[in-house]
Amino acid sequence: MNLKNASILIIDDDPDVLTAVRLLLKTEVKDVVTEKNPENLRWHLSKDSFDVILLDMNFTSSINTGNEGLFWLREIQKMKSEAAVIMITAYGDIDLAVRSLKEGAADFVVKPWHNEKLITTIKETLKRKSNKTAITPFSTADSIIGKELLGDSEVMQQIFYKIEKIAPTDANILILGENGTGKDLIAKAIHQQSLRNTKPYIKVDVGALTESLFESELFGHKKGAFTDAREDRPGRFEAANGGTLFLDEISNIPLHLQAKLLSVLQNRQVTRLGSNEPIPVDIRLICATNASLNELANENRFRKDLIYRINTVEIIVPPLRKRGNDIIVLAKHFTRLYSNKYMKPVPEFDTKALEKLLNHHYPGNVRELQYIIERAVIMADDNTLHANDLIFSPIESAYSAESEPAEMKLSAVEKNTILKVIEKHNGNITKAAKELGLTRTALYRRLSKYEI
């Protein structure tokens, strides 16, 4: 359905919200009806037919259940209204809004919103309403959930449920978790189950971008903008237009560049280096970081206004050591994967091998387990994997110090520090050397010295 032909009902007990939305939509849609008292909802639905209802989550009404929005959503459904319901929620009630999706809401918007975002949400809702098949825009058979993204634990099942509910919306997502936990797979799953799944999915490791390349890579450049700019080039925002942009390691962006990213996200337009012409972009943003929210809340490191912009909904991915029997589920998955790759019979684990897997700390998380199993499959002498086939990385010694008496020799302290920093940067020697205050050559000398 075209937005111009739509009839919209807005229910909110804040008169300022009603006025603002009515002024915004009166030239965009056919009819706009506003209502301050939700108890008049039944009268409106008996009198008129609406295409979309914007419904606040919280009212100071006689119902006073603490989740009035869900109550009135159910009442709309009881009246068999064909209107699609978009919930209006405050930032602190995101979980409640996600629950409303399970109960039949079409989408939700977070106060305060940008006008363009609200209009886009209404358009997408009308599009799904007129094309029922668009409500399930992905094939479960093609989903990476259950194929690459695995887990039977309660915490992973909650993540899968959250993906299912938030993917069809355009909400910005922040994925938090240690290195190697599978944040990139979760981002792919969200895109795959979104209404943008036929459009581009662009991943950018912003932690790997130098400051000089940041703007050029993300926003693009014009020919001659700098020495090596030999032709016009679109940035990653333009490449992701209509689809999903995944910014990995978002916490590594310097503060002065965060301001430029924030401006693009607010205005939904980019300006290429060497140009003054803004280019509109329509992207769904997913970000990920191994930093905690407490670390991001440090304003000397990360802008609070940028956190609010990228974090409509957050997904916290647990470390592998907290996922219980998922370790075995993943281990068996990787044995099948690498047995097929190397054309070997799929081995079984003996009891001691399973115990060894379950008792390991996994500082490298799923990625570490994957490498352990690949090496074991390659080196196995028979169709059973034994405990001595599972060789953990020497980097583990840096973490086992948490549970064992630490060596106080200076050489041991230096070695463990180097191991921790290299693991933190996933083996990237350049980044590790920079954090340690060494040149690459000096770090290599120390690696040789300690036989790392």
Distances in Å between the Cα of 218 and the Cα atoms of 104, 273, 305, 429, 445 are 37, 10, 20, 25, 36
In CATH, the number for domain 3-135 is: 3.40.50.2300
pLDDT at 236 over 50: yes
**Overall average pLDDT of the 175-194 stretch:** 94
Strand order in the sheet with 201-205: 201-205, 244-248, 284-289, 173-176, 313-316
Hey, what CATH topology would domain 320-393 get? Answer: Helicase, Ruva Protein; domain 3 (1.10.8)
Every domain of the chain with CATH number 1.10.10.60 lies at: 397-449
Tell me the per-residue pLDDT of 212-230, one tens digit each, with 9 for 90 and over: 788 888 998 888 877 777 8
Q: What is the pLDDT of residue 224?
A: 80
Flag whether pLDDT at 272 surpasses 80.
Answer: yes
pLDDT of residue 406: 42
Put residue 217 in one of left, alpha, beta given phi > 0 → left and psi -120 to 50 → alpha: alpha
Ranking 29-43, 344-358, 405-419, 433-447 by mean pLDDT, the lowest is 405-419
Residues of the chain with CATH 1.10.8.60: 320-393
- In terms of average pLDDT, the best of 128-132, 151-155, 186-190, 355-359 is 186-190
Instruction: State the pLDDT at residue 298.
Output: 77
Q: Of 432 and 270, which is predicted with more confidence?
A: 270
What is the CATH topology of the domain spanning 144-316? Rossmann fold (3.40.50)
Closest C-alpha among 374, 372, 377 to residue 391: 372
List, for residues 309-366, the tens digit of each pLDDT value.
898 888 999 999 999 989 999 999 999 999 999 999 999 999 999 999 998 999 999 9
Query: Does residue 196 register a pLDDT over 80?
Result: yes
3-state class (DSSP) for residue 280: strand
pLDDT of residue 183: 95
Residues sharing a CB contact under 8 Å with residue 154, sequence separation 6 or more, in sequence order = none
pLDDT on residue 451: 63
Domain with CATH 3.40.50.300 in the chain: 144-316
- The answer to whether 423 and 398 are in contact (CB under 8 A) is yes
Distance in angstroms (rounded) separating the CA atoms of residues 431 and 257 = 19
Mean pLDDT over the full length of the chain: 83
- The whole-number average pLDDT for the span 433-445 is 75
What's the whole-model pTM score?
0.61
What CATH topology corresponds to 397-449?
Arc Repressor Mutant, subunit A (1.10.10)
CATH 3.40.50.2300 in the chain: give the residue spans. 3-135
- Strands laid side by side in the 31-35 sheet: 31-35, 7-11, 52-56, 84-90, 107-111
pLDDT average, residue stretch 391-412: 53
First-residue to last-residue Cα distance in the chain: 63
pLDDT tens readout for residues 8-30: 999 998 888 899 999 999 889 99
Q: Is 22 helix (H, G, I), strand (E, B) or coil?
A: helix
Strands (DSSP E) along 117-180, which ranges? 173-176
CA 422/CA 419 separation, integer angstroms? 5
Asked if 86 and 56 count as a contact pair (C-beta separation under 8 A), the reply is no
